[in-house]
Structure 1
């Protein structure tokens, strides 16, 4: 399996200036390639390279291999856009989101990540330095640092290209590492996980990870942002820039903690982890105006991603199941009705009388669907007569 490791670069002032010039040149070149690709309709890597390779090198001062990486970055961006359209994630062709995405070229921020392969970037893991190509020439002995686990994984398992990225004036390298797949065991059962806002995650075992603290934190951050935006002074804008990303980092930390605990319980008890497949939920659900900001920015998908990769890393089976009516279906008698859930927190079956917390019931339904899916997918094939 693939795992990404992020390390922090420690460049001198001169080295940081060269890195910034390199990133700016690469992203200007990427914007140019993307515009030509949009106008000409040529969006595959080989076609773009034949069409624009010489122009990129001469016009933007890039060497051969960085020019190739720029073309690949643009081709990958258009391939990802086509995949989103095919999956229906941009809505219908008449929607504003679809027309905005398809009606103009792909663009890249000045600080967008730039991929480097081993011809442009070499690692000296023993010395904790890298040698990297820049528009000012090859730059050697750029120091980096990271956690002990990250450095060990990088030293033993690094494979493929690495991305150079700048965030708030700090430089990072994101490397791809090839981790051996531990192999998946046959689960003795399943832990169903229901995701939400009031309760971030509720398992079929009854474990509840409440979201009240995260809600309060996000509300406090929103109030601070509004207060600083209302002031509009230069000092307020600087403080806004310093605060940006803190809310997202906090939510990511919470999701890491929740997913780690759920996967560790599954591994210890020999069970798998199952969640609802929530892809496209924003397009399927109609929300009140006051709910839209909260729902659209809530990290549901990230929690599912954390659960999936941590489960794979531990060899724990992972499934995504159909989310339809998981909070309205009775897990005992199967009766499904909207009235089974009289309010957000409670479930009460109108047929058999089963009652309990609604999120726990949803987690149990996810668990039962995972059992059915796993049994169907892995049922033995009958021997030929």
Structure 2
């Protein structure tokens, strides 16, 4: 499994100038290659000899690979737009989907493959251009004890150097061995939602609620209000900063919830975590004026992904099951009907919290969909 670590970089003024020049040249080269490919000139057989750029050959090779990847995705989205327009035309609809714009990279960064950088003694070594020649520079970084332990015998992947919040950082990909999955143990069902971010039910009867849905919805509304106010004042940069801050907060919340879920699973000797297959949750969930904003901005997929990779690191497998009627079906008599807000009461006398009912039905479900969530 591949994971990544973000490390702060502390270059000298001279090194900072060299790195900034390298990032600028890297992005300009990728954009130039992409523009060339989209204009009709194939870059399928392009090599470093065909590209004129003030970059080390290792980074130039990476530029060509990145450009090919971007062009491939662009053509894929163009084909989707064409097929959708054909489908709309057959149905007699006057609506048409616009073809995607040419992708242009704006954020200055550069990618360096694992053969061209080293991490050792609180320094990262990688090549840059100095006076027209490729030379390695050694830049000081601060590694935590945990990062030193991870990097001591890790197999590295690609490293990205980028500016985040006005700070130069290196995002280093590394591989970790996945532990063997448990063959014996309990089963845990997880119900994801808005009012209650997550509820777990274990086959041995333990129950736990995670997160604070009311607080999350309040933060969403608060930042939506701030964005609206700033947009009215035409403060576009401030709108972007507010949006980035909200995303960082919500991502951190997802990390904490997924960590707590996996920690609980380990404590109760769980071998399998079952999640709902939530591909169409936004189209199947009941809408309301207060609920719409949270529904369309909350990332159920991201939380499921966090649970999945953390569970794998703990030796717990993850399965996805059909989400149909999980919050409506009585586990005792099997009848289906809606809950009254959060309270579910069946004619047979069974009553329970609606989200807990969902977690219970997910735990007991045999409607297996797959081992991976779809985006």
TM-score, normalization by structure 1: 0.80
Q: Which residue of 2 aligns with 1:251?
A: 250
Q: Which residue of 2 aligns with 1:50?
A: 45
Deviation at 1:198, TM superposition (A): 0.9
CA distance in structure 2 between the partners assigned to 1:317 and 1:304 by the alignment: 13
Deviation at 1:188, TM superposition (A): 2.3
Q: Which residue of 1 aligns with 2:343?
A: 346
Deviation at 1:346, TM superposition (A): 2.5
Q: Which residue of 2 aligns with 1:380?
A: none
CA distance in structure 2 between the partners assigned to 1:125 and 1:274 by the alignment: 41
When residues 307 and 84 of structure 1 are mapped into structure 2, their CA distance, relative to the original with a 3 A threshold, is farther
Could you tell me whether the CA contact under 8 Å between 2:155 and 2:174 is conserved in 1? yes
Could you tell me whether the CA contact under 8 Å between 1:2 and 1:177 is conserved in 2? yes
CA distance in structure 2 between the partners assigned to 1:75 and 1:284 by the alignment: 37
Could you tell me whether the CA contact under 8 Å between 2:38 and 2:71 is conserved in 1? no
Equivalent of 1:223 in 215, 225, 229: 225
Could you tell me whether the CA contact under 8 Å between 1:38 and 1:104 is conserved in 2? no
Q: Which residue of 2 aligns with 1:61?
A: 54
Q: Which residue of 2 aligns with 1:129?
A: 123
When residues 344 and 125 of structure 1 are mapped into structure 2, their CA distance, relative to the original with a 3 A threshold, is farther
Say yes or no: does 1:368 pair with 2:364. Answer: yes
More helix by proportion, 1 or 2?
1
When residues 157 and 19 of structure 1 are mapped into structure 2, their CA distance, relative to the original with a 3 A threshold, is same
Could you tell me whether the CA contact under 8 Å between 1:6 and 1:146 is conserved in 2? no
Deviation at 1:304, TM superposition (A): 0.7
Residue ranges of structure 2 left out of the alignment (5+ in a row): 89-93
User: For each residue in 1:318-343, what CA deviation from the matched residue of structure 2 results, as whole angstroms up to 9, or x when unmatched?
Assistant: 1121222212222222223xxx2244
CA distance in structure 2 between the partners assigned to 1:282 and 1:132 by the alignment: 45
Q: Which residue of 1 aligns with 2:276?
A: 276
Could you tell me whether the CA contact under 8 Å between 1:4 and 1:176 is conserved in 2? yes
Residue ranges of structure 1 left out of the alignment (5+ in a row): 43-47, 378-385
CA distance in structure 1 between the partners assigned to 2:111 and 2:284 by the alignment: 35
Q: Which residue of 1 aligns with 2:91?
A: none
When residues 322 and 167 of structure 1 are mapped into structure 2, their CA distance, relative to the original with a 3 A threshold, is same
Q: Which residue of 1 aligns with 2:64?
A: 71
CA distance in structure 2 between the partners assigned to 1:15 and 1:97 by the alignment: 53
Could you tell me whether the CA contact under 8 Å between 2:160 and 2:170 is conserved in 1? yes
Could you tell me whether the CA contact under 8 Å between 2:344 and 2:351 is conserved in 1? yes
Could you tell me whether the CA contact under 8 Å between 1:159 and 1:177 is conserved in 2? yes
RMSD of equivalent CA atoms: 3.4
Could you tell me whether the CA contact under 8 Å between 1:276 and 1:322 is conserved in 2? yes
CA distance in structure 2 between the partners assigned to 1:229 and 1:74 by the alignment: 34
CA distance in structure 1 between the partners assigned to 2:192 and 2:367 by the alignment: 20
TM-score, normalization by structure 2: 0.81
CA distance in structure 1 between the partners assigned to 2:143 and 2:239 by the alignment: 27
CA distance in structure 1 between the partners assigned to 2:110 and 2:283 by the alignment: 32
Q: Which residue of 1 aligns with 2:309?
A: 309
Count of residue pairs brought into register by the alignment: 355
CA distance in structure 1 between the partners assigned to 2:145 and 2:169 by the alignment: 16
CA distance in structure 1 between the partners assigned to 2:177 and 2:341 by the alignment: 43
User: For each residue in 1:267-317, what CA deviation from the matched residue of structure 2 results, as whole angstroms up to 9, or x when unmatched?
Assistant: 122212111122354466685677554323212111111111110111012
When residues 368 and 40 of structure 1 are mapped into structure 2, their CA distance, relative to the original with a 3 A threshold, is farther
